[in-house]
């Protein structure tokens, strides 16, 4: 701070403010520096403080005066307070601590001073123009006082202020702010106030303030159950920002699950977070705690808890089919369809939607329910899974334009509310929608956005969606080396326990097809189909694995099998016109018949592709139509169709199709060396026997006894099997060795 005494030439000759009877001109105050000088010398403080109110920080900065000059205003008033004595300083400190809540009564309580003395000092400060309505006239004064106070003294005043404001029913946020600034609490009501303030802050997306309140509440909580509940809320906030397992709050949540001290709502969240990170054993433990306290569906306010448990069970069975749940949650004899108020709860509606998706009930059963969820419920940590389910319902019903609108809205809300994890989830869904529309550049862009929101290692099993979308988009664009580089990324082992393993295998198989590794592709596609049947989710709209197998056999020259798998996909659809994948089936079947019989099939495929708005599939169908007309000698018609197909292929960014339509066949398929080769034939007979038995779940000792060899020999065989098949655990062996169609 600069020199407080003003230059002699600026000193007025008129008497000071202590003799206000004398008429005098108001001194010209040039900016904040002149004002602070005048205040320091007790010259016309009332007029000067009025000028200080007009010297706001933005105005000062626009006028070219630094922030340090604005700070000088507050420093000058603080200097004046110190000259007024200790009592004025203490009252000033109380006003600074209380801020907008400052009154004569609260100042008296915070200072534990005589009320008459406080009134007298406030009158003096008001008469001098420093205070107005028991608050500082210039906000910089309070900041300067707080900066100059001893830390322990400031915390003590905040502690007393919290109690004074609590007794006067001040808002929870105001009381909590003083508690946080005090750094400690000795009041029995403090934890409840802090949690209320944290809830209010979360509703306003004020994450830092909520965390501050909850951390203090955790330190002052009395019992383990209360600390566990607070840790669960803190973990949910962290999950929203960066879902890492290497944090103190995740460790607290994990310990609370093991100790069994979490309530049912906190356990619901804990199960989701543990599954996110592949902690299957801990998730089972948390689920057992939920089932232990489960009751038949009630008709009172506790119905919401039962609905959430019902949805959670359905969601786990749908998302993690490899996670067996021990028993059914008790239900009422008559299924409940609505809450006590007559409106179905979010989780009950979402559970019904999951049942409709799993049963392949069709658009009539899924689309209205998805709209109901998306239109009535706001995005938060407790609704993410339900909203994601609703979007998937629209996607699998082939309502891609509608899904795009809703997904864009949710993605924008995630960005506006600074929630990277939500952004990753909805960007991944947006990538899938774009991929199904044949918009390869958009799909790749949204996939990269999802993968870059949080560290990839913290995305858990959710990394599967943007990863397979990215690989599939790169493959269709002819960027095979980049696609393989993405497949070489480390992914959580738990990915293969979730249904996200299915599109991952689908993408890996299509890269193998594009790089002329048909045998590897067929293994991936057949493995995908085997898992879908075993998990009882053989849904043609989820992953059209029969079409994939048909394409593989078609490229291998086996038209009979190709036609058979494509026809079976149509049977599963029921109506080829009901879903965009029906166009692929018809196109593949057309490739197995004579050119004269292809036109009708390809025209049907074109109609379906146009209706589903899959531009890449439409381009492929038009290309096949053009080729067919060329074979039939209809050159003009062929040229027109090929031009249309080329225009669409260029728009999609499908470089291999562009080259084929342009007649450029000089560029050979880009060779790719895969690090995940599934060469079952490389296994010796002994290794194959050991691998099959290990895949069935037998232990090393049991295998050794069955084959009459040593346990060490079994271990050596398995080491070589893992190395050759590029797997890391036994459950993957079962998938790799499954080749049944």
Percent of the chain with pLDDT over 70: 81
The 10s digit of each residue's pLDDT in 213-246 is: 998 988 887 788 888 888 888 988 888 888 888 8
338: number of CA atoms within 13 Å, CB side?
A: 4
- Across the strands, what pairs with 135? 132
Packing angle between helix 346-358 and helix 384-396, nearest 10 degrees?
30
Query: Looking at residue 658, what is its pLDDT?
Result: 92
Asked if the model's pLDDT at residue 2 lies above 50, the reply is: no
**Predicted pLDDT of residue 331:** 40
Q: Which residue has the tokens 């010259």?
A: 43
Q: Residue ranges of the domains in the chain?
A: 8-149, 539-663, 680-725
Count CB atoms within 10 A of the CB of residue 8: 6
pLDDT digits over 291-330, tens only?
776 655 444 445 666 788 888 888 998 999 888 665 444 4
- The secondary structure of residue 101, as a DSSP letter, is G
How far is Cα 347 from Cα 355, in angstroms, rounded to an integer? Answer: 12
d(CA 291, CA 381): 22
Q: In angstroms, what CA-CA distances link 287 with 293, 318, 354, 429?
A: 10, 16, 19, 27
pLDDT of residue 686: 78
DSSP characters over 102-161 = --HHHHHHHHT--HHHHHHHHHHHHHTTSEETTEESSHHHHHHHHHHS-HHHHHHHHHHH
Task: Give per-residue pLDDT as tens, 425-474.
Answer: 999 999 999 999 999 999 999 999 999 888 878 888 899 999 999 999 99
For the segment 607-618, what is each residue's pLDDT rounded down to a tens digit? 999 888 889 999
Q: Are 722 and 695 in contact (CB under 8 A)?
A: no
Q: pLDDT of 57-113, one tens digit each?
A: 334 333 344 444 445 666 777 777 777 778 888 888 888 888 888 888 888 888 888
Task: Mark residue 76 as left, alpha or beta (left: phi above 0; alpha: psi -120 to 50; beta: remaining).
Answer: alpha
Note the pLDDT of residue 83: 76
| pLDDT at site 672 | 40
Residue bearing tokens 């939607």: 353
Residue pair 12/38 in contact (Cβ under 8 Å)? The answer is no
Angle CA 343–345–349, to nearest 5: 105
Mean pLDDT along residues 353-358: 88
Q: Which residue has the higher pLDDT, 733 or 510?
A: 510
DSSP one-letter code for 329: P
How many Cα atoms are found within 13 Å in the side-chain-facing hemisphere of 246? 3
239 touches 273 (CB < 8 A): yes
725: burial class by Cβ within 10 Å (0-12, 13-18, 19+)? buried
Overall fold of domain 680-725: Arc Repressor Mutant, subunit A (1.10.10)
Homologous superfamily of 539-663: Tetratricopeptide repeat domain (1.25.40.10)
Q: In sequence order, what DSSP letters do the residues of 265-323 get, joined into one string?
A: HHHHHHHHHHHHTT-HHHHHHHHHHHHHT--SPPSSTTHHHHHHHHHHHHHHHHH-TTS
Q: Do domains 539-663 and 680-725 have the same CATH topology?
A: no
Confidence of residue 46 (pLDDT cuts 50, 70, 90): very low
DSSP codes of every residue in 705-723? HHHT--HHHHHHHHHHHHH
Average per-residue pLDDT in the chain?
A: 80
Average pLDDT over residues 695-707: 81
Instruction: Show contacts of 487-493: CB within 8 Å, 24+ apart.
Output: 487/511, 487/674, 487/675, 487/676, 488/675, 488/676, 489/456, 490/457, 491/463, 491/464, 491/467, 492/277, 492/278, 492/460, 492/461, 492/463, 493/278, 493/728, 493/729
| pLDDT one-digit tens code per residue, 123-152 | 888 888 777 787 777 777 778 888 888 888
pLDDT at 176 over 70: yes
Placement of tokens 């696609």 in the chain:
483
Scan for tokens 């000259």, then name that residue. Answer: 83
Question: Is the model's pLDDT at 1 over the cut of 70?
Answer: no
C-alpha span between 245 and 447 (Å, rounded): 23
Mean pLDDT of 254-266: 85
- Unique residue bearing structure tokens 């209706």: 611
């Amino acid at each position: 701070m600069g020199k407080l005494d003003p230059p002699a030439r600026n000193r007025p000759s008129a008497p000071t403010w202590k003799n206000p009877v004398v008429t005098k001109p108001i001194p010209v105050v040039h900016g904040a520096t002149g004002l602070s000088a005048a205040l320091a010398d007790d010259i016309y403080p009332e007029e000067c403080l009025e000028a200080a109110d007009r010297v706001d920080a933005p105005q000062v900065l626009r006028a070219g005066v630094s922030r340090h000059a604005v700070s000088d205003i507050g420093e000058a008033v603080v200097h004046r307070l110190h000259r007024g004595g200790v009592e004025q300083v203490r009252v000033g400190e109380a006003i600074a601590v209380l801020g907008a809540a400052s009154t004569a009564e609260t100042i008296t309580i915070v200072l534990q001073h005589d009320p008459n003395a406080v009134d007298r000092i406030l009158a003096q400060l008001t008469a001098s123009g420093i205070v107005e309505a028991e608050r500082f006239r210039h906000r910089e004064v309070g900041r300067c006082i707080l900066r100059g106070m001893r830390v322990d003294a400031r915390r003590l005043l905040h502690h007393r202020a919290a109690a004074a404001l609590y007794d006067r029913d001040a808002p929870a946020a105001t009381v909590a702010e003083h508690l946080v600034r005090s750094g400690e609490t000795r009041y029995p009501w403090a934890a409840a106030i802090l949690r209320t303030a944290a809830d209010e802050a979360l509703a306003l997306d004020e994450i830092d303030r909520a965390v501050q309140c909850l951390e203090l509440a955790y330190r002052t909580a009395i019992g383990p159950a209360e600390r566990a509940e607070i840790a669960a809320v803190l973990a949910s906030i962290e999950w929203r920002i960066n879902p890492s397992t290497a944090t103190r709050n995740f460790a607290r949540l994990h310990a609370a699950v093991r100790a069994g001290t979490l309530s049912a709502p906190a356990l619901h969240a804990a199960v989701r977070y543990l599954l996110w990170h592949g902690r299957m054993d801990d998730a089972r433990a948390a689920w057992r705690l939920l089932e232990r306290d489960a009751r038949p569906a009630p008709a009172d306010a506790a119905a919401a808890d039962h609905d959430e448990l019902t949805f959670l069970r359905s969601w786990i069975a749908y998302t993690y089919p490899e996670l067996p749940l021990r028993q059914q949650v008790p239900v009422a004899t008559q299924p409940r369809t609505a809450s006590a108020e007559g409106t179905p709860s979010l989780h009950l509606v979402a559970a019904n939607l999951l049942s409709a998706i799993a049963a392949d009930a069709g658009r009539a059963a899924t689309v209205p329910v998805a709209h109901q969820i998306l239109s009535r419920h706001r995005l938060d940590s407790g609704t993410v899974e339900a909203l994601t389910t609703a979007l998937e319902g629209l996607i699998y019903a082939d309502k891609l334009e509608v899904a795009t609108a809703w997904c864009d809205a949710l993605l924008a809300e995630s960005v506006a509310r600074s929630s990277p994890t939500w952004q990753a989830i909805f960007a991944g869904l947006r990538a899938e929608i774009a991929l199904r529309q044949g918009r390869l550049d958009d799909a790749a862009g949204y996939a990269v956005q999802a993968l870059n929101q949080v560290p990839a290692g913290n995305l858990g099993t959710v990394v599967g969606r943007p990863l397979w979308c990215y690989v599939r988009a790169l493959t269709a664009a002819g960027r095979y080396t980049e696609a393989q580089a993405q497949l070489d990324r480390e992914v959580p082992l738990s990915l293969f326990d979730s249904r996200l393993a299915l599109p991952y295998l689908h993408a890996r198989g299509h890269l193998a097809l594009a790089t002329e590794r048909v045998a590897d592709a067929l293994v991936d596609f057949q493995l995908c189909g085997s898992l879908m049947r075993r998990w009882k989710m053989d849904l043609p709209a989820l992953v059209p694995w029969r079409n994939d197998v048909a394409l593989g056999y078609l490229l291998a020259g086996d038209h009979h099998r190709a036609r058979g798998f494509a026809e079976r996909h149509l049977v599963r659809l029921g109506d080829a016109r009901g879903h965009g994948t029906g166009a692929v089936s018809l196109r593949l079947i057309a490739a197995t018949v004579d050119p004269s019989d292809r036109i009708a099939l390809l025209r049907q495929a074109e109609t379906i592709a146009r209706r589903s708005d899959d531009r890449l599939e439409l381009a492929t169908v038009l290309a096949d139509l053009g080729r067919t007309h060329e074979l039939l000698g209809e050159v003009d018609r062929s040229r027109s169709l090929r031009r249309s197909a080329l225009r669409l292929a260029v728009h999609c960014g499908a470089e291999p199709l562009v080259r084929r339509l342009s007649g450029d066949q000089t560029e050979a398929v880009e060779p790719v060396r895969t690090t995940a080769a599934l060469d079952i034939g490389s296994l010796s007979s002994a290794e194959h026997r050991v691998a099959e038995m290990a895949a069935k779940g037998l232990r090393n000792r049991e295998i050794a006894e069955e084959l009459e060899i040593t346990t060490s020999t079994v271990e050596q065989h398995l080491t070589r099997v893992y190395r050759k098949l590029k797997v890391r655990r036994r459950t993957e062996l079962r998938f790799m060795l499954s080749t049944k169609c």
